[in-house]
Chains A and B, each alone.
Chain A
Amino acid sequence: MSTTSPAPTTTAVPAFEAHDIVKHFDGVHALSGAHLSVREGEIHALLGENGAGKSTMVKVLTGIYAPDGGRILRNGEEVTFANVRVANRAGIVALYQELSIIPSISVAENIMLGERTPSRGGLVQWAALRSRAKEQLDRLNQKIPLKMLAGDLSPVQQTMVAFARALANDARVLILDEPTASLTDTEIKDLFTVLRSLRAQGVAIVYVSHRLEEVFELCDRLTIMRNGETMLTKDVADSNIDEVISTMVGRAAGDLYPDRGTATSTVALSVTGLDGRKVKDVTFTAHKGEVLGIGGLAGSGRSELLRILAGAQKHTAGTIAVGDVALPSSPGVARALDAGIALVPEERRSQGVILSASIRDNIALANIGAVSSAGLVSGGRISDITKRGMSDLQVKARSSRQPVGELSGGNQQKVVLAKMLARNPKVLLMDEPTRGIDVGTKAEIYRLIRALAATGTTVIAVSSELPELIGMSDRILIMHEGQISGEAMSAEADEEMLLAYCYGKTA
């Protein structure tokens, strides 16, 4: 695989080094002693599971976050980046897909933006502007019409324009975060050609990606992070996919998870041939009292699948049935709820609760039918269901009138659960049920999930953390590019096998 890569140009001093980087948020360590060392003229892959600390690392390297400890060296000299512009001036540029171009102005202006725009007496020197912009595009071998509005370009062309601007600003270290996420196969080929030519010009490229096959095709060296630490840096030629996956996963266990239950054989939810945005031909069943985990990489369609089941997103083909009752073709959230399907969404703060409203109001809103009669809301009934929900779930709050925004993440999640459970759902869908929740409360949430299953509720939970999937579920489905790429009973599953499914290796 590595034969397509020319031998790395090794130089004595790395272009860019970061040593012993420490960064914590509210006492939680996001980085604890991370290293990264990048040479001129190499493409360096930065790998790790979700939450391993890759993006925090990128943000520290580009001046978005100030590190709490550690040193950053540029050409052997220690530097500190007060903000992104300082990092940019030092030649370090991170490119994100959406942020990088200005759609409303021309390609040439995008490349020579701001300080670089040639002008005389306040007037833009268009000829000079275009010829300099063209020089940068020539370095990338790109022929993009200079007068075209950047907003009218294809995604890969926009990426190229962002590259050209970085080059115009003398960028020597380019950090790319999932640059191929929205590109087609041919576009990816073009991108790789450009990256190789930049490498030949001595630019150092940090390549953050989940797509291991790309890493092995393109990159010279790789660094793997886990739990905020750097586990490994080595030449790609000396490594292999199995080593990378096992290093990323590590060996982590714990008694975080309650014992599994015994699912019944009664089918609670059956899904056949479901098609929709980001979801392709998905068929599966879930049983009464079962905890079904769904995994997959970001963008694999797992959240979209939950949203379709909950009626929050349309499906174009296929059927959903709760028990024996089939849902209509586009049920909408209200009818899905009536049929017994409830969703606890991923973005808790924006989709799950109203932060400024009290606990009781949040619970009442989701159960407005149950707490009102003849159009009038009954305060007593709200108190009843709120009290029940808060005690069942052990919500820690001053009173039921405390605004949800003042609660901890775990307690907010319990409020979301309480308002959904008040509807007695047959199938409870949870998207990333423990995101942003501390470890202690995580265990509580797992116990709650298990307790719900024991009473006959079917829980379908999406998680991007493989240990969590294995620990909390009875059975696991893995999605890859909208399809189910693998299924395993969690008692028999291991992370390496699931990760292989995640990367599209079908069983």
Chain B
Amino acid sequence: MTTTNVPVQPRTSIGKFLVQGGTTIALLALIVFFFAMRPDVFLTFTNVRNILFQVSILAIVAGAQTLVMVVGDFDLSLAATSSLSGSAVASLMLGGMPMAPAILIGLVVGLLIGIGNGLLVAYLNLSAFVATLATMTSVIGLAYLVTQGTTLFNLPDGFNALGQGRLLNVPLPVYIAIAIAVVLWAVLRFTTTGRKWYAIGGNVEVSRLSGINVRRGRLMAFAAAGLISAVAGILLAARLGSGSAVQGSDNLLFSVAAVFLGMTVIKSGQANLVGTMVGVAIIGVMSNGLNILGVNSYVQQVVTGLIIIAAVTLSGLKTRER
């Protein structure tokens, strides 16, 4: 006897589609709007390159944040970690260390902080909020110690080229950000590690009973996020040609916002890499477009907050529907 369980078709209506695709539609609408306002400028090669350059570092931090949010946690210390890594690399190179080992140490610093967060959250069972808030505080302090409160500059040209050099007239950080995004997407999509992260984020208990090492999974997500944010911090130092304890601190808020925006892109409301990049694009396009229109930066800040509220509300609506 055969039972035919026809899959329940998701009830689609135009309203639901709009909620579903709301974030992507918002991005398209922003692009159309700014293009209509300044057709001579907005979609030119120079400006698109500008936008990509401006969001490349945020994209990397947001990619790191996505990993942690896939397992159902979040990390407040990412931006601070990236500042510390960038400052450490700058400080080491000014102290005479060649570029390659300095960068390597910078990456290890990020990885260690990530592992620390992971141990606190997964093994000592601190809430992610408390643990990463505490590490953020300490890491900022370390960054002040490393920079002695000043801005480190006069970094080697070879290092600065990482952040400022161009290939085919497009800045290197854009390629690096795209490469990292593709790798993270593939990790989340195709590897057992990535699928385990999604399982843990979906249901810890079932995951555990199915033989997934939940603690190790969470630890690995935090560790990977720390390492990736170190990449972002080192690139930022190269891009600015300087390192300071506070540079890039706005990336924390924006990375969380981008992931939240991204969660509204897909139906299941999970953190996902493609969605995060849509979120990053919205933030970048909005800032660039409003700058081009000459909108006051205080107003820009208000609008950014409103977009985050809209995104969270949209994903909330969807959760309730399900």
Q: Using a CB–CB distance below 8 Å, which chain A residues touch chain B?
A: 84-85, 88, 99-105, 109, 113-117, 119, 122-124, 126, 141-145, 148-149, 151-154, 156-157, 160, 165, 169, 190, 193-194, 197
The complex places the Cα of A104 from the Cα of B7 at a distance, in Å, of: 17
**What are the residues of chain B within 8 A of A116 when measuring CB–CB?**
210-211
For the complex formed, measure the closest distance between the CB of B209 and the CB atoms of chain A, giving whole angstroms: 6
Some 22 contacts from A to B, beta carbons below 8 A apart, are A99-B203, A101-B203, A104-B198, A104-B201, A105-B198, A105-B202, A109-B195, A113-B206, A113-B207, A114-B207, A114-B210, A114-B212, A115-B211, A115-B212, A116-B210, A142-B5, A149-B267, A154-B5, A157-B8, A169-B210, A190-B5, A194-B3
Is B210 within 8 A of A123, CB to CB? no
Is A154 within 8 A of B8, CB to CB? yes
Q: Counting CB contacts under 8 A, is B239 at the interface?
A: no
The complex places the Cα of A101 from the Cα of B203 at a distance, in Å, of: 8
Q: Closest B residue to A148 by CB, please name it.
A: B7
The complex places the Cα of A149 from the Cα of B205 at a distance, in Å, of: 18
**What are the residues of chain A within 8 A of B201 when measuring CB–CB?**
104
**What are the residues of chain B within 8 A of A194 when measuring CB–CB?**
3
**What are the residues of chain A within 8 A of B1 when measuring CB–CB?**
141, 193, 197
Q: Closest A residue to B196 by CB, please name it.
A: A114
The complex places the Cα of A87 from the Cα of B93 at a distance, in Å, of: 57
Per-residue CB contact flags for chain B residues 188-214 toward chain A (1 = under 8 Å, else 0) read: 001111011011011101111111100
Taking a contact as CB atoms closer than 8 A, the residue among B5, B7, B210 that contacts A115 in the complex is: B210
Q: Counting CB contacts under 8 A, is B4 at the interface?
A: yes
For the complex formed, measure the closest distance between the CB of A331 and the CB atoms of chain B, giving whole angstroms: 24
Known: A104-B198, A117-B195. A157 touches B5 (CB 8 A): yes
Q: Counting CB contacts under 8 A, is B251 at the interface?
A: no
**What are the residues of chain A within 8 A of B191 when measuring CB–CB?**
119, 122-124
The complex places the Cα of A154 from the Cα of B195 at a distance, in Å, of: 23
Is B3 within 8 A of A142, CB to CB? yes
For the complex formed, measure the closest distance between the CB of A138 and the CB atoms of chain B, giving whole angstroms: 10
Known: A105-B198, A151-B268. A114 touches B5 (CB 8 A): no
**What are the residues of chain A within 8 A of B315 when measuring CB–CB?**
none
The complex places the Cα of A238 from the Cα of B210 at a distance, in Å, of: 40
Is B212 within 8 A of A141, CB to CB? no
Q: Closest B residue to A156 by CB, please name it.
A: B5
Within 8 A of A (CB), among B171-190: 190
Is B5 within 8 A of A99, CB to CB? no
Taking a contact as CB atoms closer than 8 A, the residue among B8, B211, B270 that contacts A153 in the complex is: B8
The complex places the Cα of A85 from the Cα of B206 at a distance, in Å, of: 11
For the complex formed, measure the closest distance between the CB of A140 and the CB atoms of chain B, giving whole angstroms: 8
Q: Using a CB–CB distance below 8 Å, which chain B residues touch chain A?
A: 1-5, 7-8, 10, 190-193, 195-196, 198-199, 201-203, 205-212, 267-268, 270, 322
Is B203 within 8 A of A103, CB to CB? yes
Q: Closest B residue to A149 by CB, please name it.
A: B268
Taking a contact as CB atoms closer than 8 A, the residue among A84, A104, A154 that contacts B202 in the complex is: A104
Is A124 within 8 A of B7, CB to CB? no
Is A123 within 8 A of B190, CB to CB? yes
Is A105 within 8 A of B195, CB to CB? yes
The complex places the Cα of A142 from the Cα of B7 at a distance, in Å, of: 10
For the complex formed, measure the closest distance between the CB of A76 and the CB atoms of chain B, giving whole angstroms: 26
Known: A104-B270, A115-B211. A99 touches B206 (CB 8 A): yes
The 8 lowest CB-CB distance pairs between A and B, nearest first, are A114-B210, A115-B211, A102-B202, A104-B202, A113-B210, A114-B211, A114-B212, A119-B192
For the complex formed, measure the closest distance between the CB of B181 and the CB atoms of chain A, giving whole angstroms: 19
Is A124 within 8 A of B3, CB to CB? no
The complex places the Cα of A194 from the Cα of B209 at a distance, in Å, of: 24
Is B199 within 8 A of A105, CB to CB? yes
The complex places the Cα of A154 from the Cα of B3 at a distance, in Å, of: 15
The complex places the Cα of A151 from the Cα of B190 at a distance, in Å, of: 20
**What are the residues of chain B within 8 A of A193 when measuring CB–CB?**
1, 3
For the complex formed, measure the closest distance between the CB of A500 and the CB atoms of chain B, giving whole angstroms: 33
**What are the residues of chain B within 8 A of A117 when measuring CB–CB?**
192, 195
The complex places the Cα of A113 from the Cα of B195 at a distance, in Å, of: 9
Is B268 within 8 A of A103, CB to CB? yes
Known: A100-B206, A109-B195, A113-B206. A144 touches B5 (CB 8 A): yes
For the complex formed, measure the closest distance between the CB of A74 and the CB atoms of chain B, giving whole angstroms: 18
**What are the residues of chain B within 8 A of A124 when measuring CB–CB?**
190-192, 195
The complex places the Cα of A154 from the Cα of B199 at a distance, in Å, of: 19
The complex places the Cα of A109 from the Cα of B190 at a distance, in Å, of: 12
**What are the residues of chain A within 8 A of B3 when measuring CB–CB?**
141-142, 190, 193-194
Is B203 within 8 A of A102, CB to CB? yes
Is B209 within 8 A of A88, CB to CB? yes
**What are the residues of chain A within 8 A of B268 when measuring CB–CB?**
103-104, 149, 151-152
Q: A100, A105, A115, A194: which has the most chain B beta carbons within 10 Å?
A: A105
The complex places the Cα of A165 from the Cα of B210 at a distance, in Å, of: 9
Known: A151-B268, A152-B268. A102 touches B207 (CB 8 A): yes
The complex places the Cα of A145 from the Cα of B7 at a distance, in Å, of: 7
For the complex formed, measure the closest distance between the CB of B294 and the CB atoms of chain A, giving whole angstroms: 43
Q: Closest A residue to B203 by CB, please name it.
A: A102
Is A152 within 8 A of B203, CB to CB? no
The complex places the Cα of A104 from the Cα of B202 at a distance, in Å, of: 5
**What are the residues of chain A within 8 A of B192 when measuring CB–CB?**
117, 119, 122-124
Q: Closest B residue to A100 by CB, please name it.
A: B206
For the complex formed, measure the closest distance between the CB of B316 and the CB atoms of chain A, giving whole angstroms: 16
**What are the residues of chain A within 8 A of B208 when measuring CB–CB?**
85
Q: A100, A123, A197: which has the most chain B beta carbons within 10 Å?
A: A123
Q: Closest A residue to B72 by CB, please name it.
A: A104
Q: A115, A144, A152, A197: which has the most chain B beta carbons within 10 Å?
A: A152
Q: Closest A residue to B200 by CB, please name it.
A: A102
The complex places the Cα of A115 from the Cα of B208 at a distance, in Å, of: 10
Is A99 within 8 A of B199, CB to CB? no
Is B203 within 8 A of A84, CB to CB? no
The complex places the Cα of A84 from the Cα of B4 at a distance, in Å, of: 33
For the complex formed, measure the closest distance between the CB of A180 and the CB atoms of chain B, giving whole angstroms: 15
The complex places the Cα of A208 from the Cα of B207 at a distance, in Å, of: 25
Q: A151, A153, A194: which has the most chain B beta carbons within 10 Å?
A: A151
Known: A88-B209, A149-B267, A151-B268. A143 touches B5 (CB 8 A): yes
For the complex formed, measure the closest distance between the CB of A89 and the CB atoms of chain B, giving whole angstroms: 9
- Please give 15 more A-B residue pairs, beta carbons under 8 A apart, in addition to A103-B268, A104-B201, A152-B267: A99-B203, A104-B202, A105-B199, A109-B195, A116-B210, A119-B192, A122-B192, A124-B190, A151-B268, A152-B8, A152-B10, A157-B5, A169-B210, A190-B3, A193-B1
The complex places the Cα of A105 from the Cα of B268 at a distance, in Å, of: 9
The complex places the Cα of A386 from the Cα of B260 at a distance, in Å, of: 48
Q: Closest A residue to B270 by CB, please name it.
A: A104
Is A143 within 8 A of B4, CB to CB? yes
Q: A114, A153, A165: which has the most chain B beta carbons within 10 Å?
A: A114
The complex places the Cα of A334 from the Cα of B268 at a distance, in Å, of: 37
**What are the residues of chain B within 8 A of A123 when measuring CB–CB?**
190-192
Q: Closest B residue to A113 by CB, please name it.
A: B210
Taking a contact as CB atoms closer than 8 A, the residue among B2, B7, B195 that contacts A141 in the complex is: B2
For the complex formed, measure the closest distance between the CB of A163 and the CB atoms of chain B, giving whole angstroms: 12
Q: Closest A residue to B1 by CB, please name it.
A: A193
The complex places the Cα of A141 from the Cα of B202 at a distance, in Å, of: 27
The complex places the Cα of A115 from the Cα of B209 at a distance, in Å, of: 10
Q: Closest B residue to A191 by CB, please name it.
A: B3
The complex places the Cα of A165 from the Cα of B209 at a distance, in Å, of: 11
Known: A109-B199, A117-B192. A102 touches B5 (CB 8 A): no
For the complex formed, measure the closest distance between the CB of B74 and the CB atoms of chain A, giving whole angstroms: 16
Q: Closest B residue to A93 by CB, please name it.
A: B209
